Structure 1
């Protein structure tokens, strides 16, 4: 989905969330209009007191005027409160919606997207970049509406009072815009570089913290610290560059404002001396010029905020501009109740070097065909890199085939609803994914309605029940980030319990015991045997001793099926399987 990065498209993207609650927008706009009117009235009290009340020496009128001025100031403060509060409510609602929508979009992306994306960079886009867009829905931003009325109204008013002074002070307006145009590109470039370096720094932190044991075991703390320092210092330099430009920009704008005030003091005093202007009128005139300068100052500052937001919006568009390719077909069906088999028919697949440029570089499968009979165990064996794991990813449709088809009871995989397909496949791999939570959270992940009785039932089948019951908090025990408090065998048993609770029609074991020692493997194997009872299963095994009893063994080499049969048949055939077997047990 192509989206242009422009200020117009950015405001459209952000304010679509505001329109979901139009009443908040209406309240804020009305409050700003009232505030504008009250601000316009305030200098009139000063002018009236100086030019009318003081010469007349009327104390009663003075008291009434001061009281009315205080009432106006109170109302101004009250409406400012409501404007600020409701603007905050509207802003928080909008930024939350934007973040939720972006996170949901990221979760829909294909597996290949995450393989070519940096986790830290995605986190920065979900947090900092979204936060930068929040400035577009702020009191300052919406005050532009009130400032426009203020600017036009005040300019007309001071022109009527004294057109010569109005013309003189107007000279400062184009100077302000010229300063903005000079600094706009500088500030935008600096913030773009700063945002990119911040993403690199976040990636470095994320990679370091998730690989801390590797770093410590190789005593590589110094090197990692130096890498982080380099990125942090680069980010500092870019931020200093942006700050330097901003630091120079603001004083220049302030100087132009003071220059405008000096013009009014010079000309106003001259006209007062000549009797062409009252003192109160000049004082009020200075107040109105300040009101005239304020919208311009705010506008230039907001333009800088817009530039920063535009950079963040561009980074967000890079995400929302990519749509997942693996989606449901228009007439996709639910996963069938299997009765016959899963069939791989002339399947070919090649990984892409990059999902965006679609450049194919590595052929993983070449014309692979075999069946996985219903209720039977089919084993996949072969050297590392022969395409075994790729088949499991294709069966779950994490990738789409280049050619051929995978059928479930004669229904093509592309004609099955993705959610239904993946709900009916349980995968247990050697790389167990453990979430930071309790044992209960991990076992019932994806089956949140399961009660403790059912959880303990599958835990017993997975031979993890005794360990859970030995813990003081049992199911409520925290496992730590990535399950750091668990052993490899305990993680694997939890993974098996999770698969049992899922109760899927198809079970895939991807070298589920490869990382375990022999004793742990024997214990886990019993749990796996229970998982596979009367299920259609595909087992990828590195240790051939674990698949002796498989109903069929498919041998792969270099992305192709080279032979298949039972263990005894393949041993007698004296082919590729026999070589693998002999090499493992000699």
Structure 2
């Protein structure tokens, strides 16, 4: 259920982190109270000097009053400094907590979520959208609390001094509120559209920069630039629209403030002329009216920040509202020490869970049953789309089976802790994931406290250590973004070394050599044999020549198992496998 986006829920979401550091919050509130008190006192010095000291012509009292006024101003500056500084600490701590919580939540989501989400959009939510919430934890925002008490206190004070002027200036308050109501929706809509367009622009940038070689090879720079220009121009238009509304809104509020000052000057002068008010009182009264208008002015000036924050908050809780569906069961246990093997028992699966019909042939898997015996190599073969890779996603529980079950030594997969399950399965796939870092960081990814000796041993078994030791920086060599400085074979060997270092019980090879030429494949095949030794393994192969020695071959077609057996037996049967084999060697 989608959470409602309201100001109250937004402030509750943000300030829950502030309340974790209550001492810091109380210090800031205490500083704001003292600042408010000093601001209230300042006009009293002006009134006293004009109405008392000047008529008495007392220089001693004048110097004494001015000295106190300067001292109050110094104290005001000191407390403003501490308020701003500690507010910044509180703000940065809170934003850090919010960003870390959101990042952890995103990482906890199911694989299916990332397949339907755009990376650039998630990046904007983690950066710009979180940053927009920072304005809610600022000295200006927190001072609204102090300004509320100032507003009430000053309003009572000016009514006591002269209720007629207080009533007259109060007429401007509903006018301010009316202007605020008119522009609130307009500004909010404009900033929401700007936020969406910024995410679109970020997605376009991310897609372009990650596909730069494709773009250059097809000389498609002009077309990509045109796409980006369209998103950037759309963002510009929305920002201009928001600025136009803000440009009308701010002067309108300023006009109402000047109108209030004009009313006080008009009525104040009249009462001074009539002798019902002293000049110093009128000057102080103007200052107090400014203090009265300040909370309203501060709130209205923060309007566009609040509206931007509200839009960003809505985008953030859209992500927070998504909860992972694949979670540990209450009595989940650790992955067992496999002695029997893995069993897929009548499993069916559809990537779309709506209107599932396992007899219409549209599902990824339909009633699949086979065993992966302990310590043996089981191969999966079939045309693209037969469901081979889907099985690996189910074995690692990136997706849940729609029906049937998967067992590891007779323990249902849902009864095994997810972390423990994935810790005991190592995957080497055709598309190797390489992080932007060093060779060492890539080989030991996911592991900690691994010595260079162990890394080199894994690299030797993966047949890449000879290459590493020849590099000037050795293991500290930077590989570039997505491993751009490495060849396909080098990436593949690093992934094999990574899997060896993981030392998992179960190995999955998902067409690990499909993208390599024959020479590279032969060089890597030895490394793969080292990886598979004495391990329970599942090998998905496109090139059937690589699975001659598999203990069992499962042949799949359109999400179903159509036959199984050893390489020799399947060839003798003159069946589907033989047709696949003959097609590759014609």
| TM-score, length-scaled by structure 2 | 0.98
Task: Name the counterpart of 1:43.
Answer: 43
Matched, 1:502 2:502: yes
TM-superposition CA deviations, 1:324-367 (whole Å, max 9, x none): 00000010010000001100000100112xx8x78899410000
Q: How does 1:27-106 map to 2 (within 5 A)?
A: 27-106=27-106
Secondary structure class of the residue paired with 2:149: helix
Distance 1:157 1:8 in 2: 31
Secondary structure class of the residue paired with 1:527: helix
Q: How does 1:174-573 map to 2 (within 5 A)?
A: 174-352=174-352, 362-573=362-573
Task: Name the counterpart of 2:19.
Answer: 19
Distance 2:526 2:509 in 1: 14
Offset of residue 310 of structure 1: 1.2
Counterpart contact for 2:201–2:228, Cα < 8 Å: yes
Distance 2:313 2:60 in 1: 58
Distance 1:176 1:362 in 2: 61
Offset of residue 12 of structure 1: 1.1
Counterpart contact for 1:351–1:362, Cα < 8 Å: no
Distance 2:304 2:223 in 1: 38
Distance 2:45 2:571 in 1: 104
Distance 1:479 1:306 in 2: 43
Distance 2:492 2:585 in 1: 25
Distance 2:339 2:348 in 1: 26
Secondary structure class of the residue paired with 1:516: coil
Distance 1:208 1:506, change over 3 A: same
Counterpart contact for 2:350–2:356, Cα < 8 Å: no
Distance 2:342 2:514 in 1: 25
Secondary structure class of the residue paired with 1:125: helix
Counterpart contact for 2:49–2:62, Cα < 8 Å: yes
Task: Name the counterpart of 2:145.
Answer: 145
Distance 1:359 1:575 in 2: 31
TM-superposition CA deviations, 1:243-265 (whole Å, max 9, x none): 00001100010011011111111
Distance 1:537 1:280 in 2: 91
Deviation >3 Å, runs of 4+ = 357-362
TM-superposition CA deviations, 1:23-45 (whole Å, max 9, x none): 01111111111110000000000
Distance 1:406 1:143 in 2: 59
Offset of residue 268 of structure 1: 1.0
Distance 2:299 2:161 in 1: 25
Secondary structure class of the residue paired with 1:253: helix
Distance 2:13 2:36 in 1: 28
Offset of residue 305 of structure 1: 2.3
Distance 2:178 2:4 in 1: 27
Secondary structure class of the residue paired with 1:276: coil
TM-superposition CA deviations, 1:357-401 (whole Å, max 9, x none): 788994100000000000000000000110000000100000000
Secondary structure class of the residue paired with 1:216: helix
Task: Name the counterpart of 2:169.
Answer: 169
Counterpart contact for 1:177–1:300, Cα < 8 Å: no
Report how many aligned residue pairs link the two structures.
583
Counterpart contact for 1:121–1:202, Cα < 8 Å: yes
TM-superposition CA deviations, 1:214-270 (whole Å, max 9, x none): 111111111100000000000000000000000110001001101111111111111
Secondary structure class of the residue paired with 2:346: strand
Counterpart contact for 1:378–1:550, Cα < 8 Å: yes
Counterpart contact for 2:2–2:318, Cα < 8 Å: no
Secondary structure class of the residue paired with 1:294: helix
Counterpart contact for 1:507–1:537, Cα < 8 Å: yes
Distance 1:145 1:518 in 2: 72
Offset of residue 301 of structure 1: 2.3
Distance 1:358 1:203, change over 3 A: farther
Secondary structure class of the residue paired with 1:346: strand
Offset of residue 139 of structure 1: 0.8
Secondary structure class of the residue paired with 1:378: strand
Distance 1:134 1:325, change over 3 A: same
Offset of residue 302 of structure 1: 2.8
Distance 1:359 1:324, change over 3 A: farther
Offset of residue 2 of structure 1: 3.9
Distance 2:498 2:4 in 1: 44
Offset of residue 87 of structure 1: 0.8
Offset of residue 460 of structure 1: 0.3
Offset of residue 513 of structure 1: 0.3
Secondary structure class of the residue paired with 2:219: coil
TM-superposition CA deviations, 1:32-66 (whole Å, max 9, x none): 11110000000000111111111111000000000
Q: Give the alignment's Cα RMSD to 1 decimal.
A: 1.1
Distance 1:396 1:433 in 2: 17
Distance 2:55 2:565 in 1: 113
TM-superposition CA deviations, 1:382-425 (whole Å, max 9, x none): 00110000000100000000001110000000000000000000
Distance 1:581 1:149 in 2: 84
Distance 2:451 2:362 in 1: 45
* Gap runs ≥5 in structure 2: none
Distance 1:48 1:42 in 2: 10
Distance 1:389 1:206 in 2: 27
Secondary structure class of the residue paired with 2:363: strand
Secondary structure class of the residue paired with 2:350: strand
Distance 2:292 2:70 in 1: 23
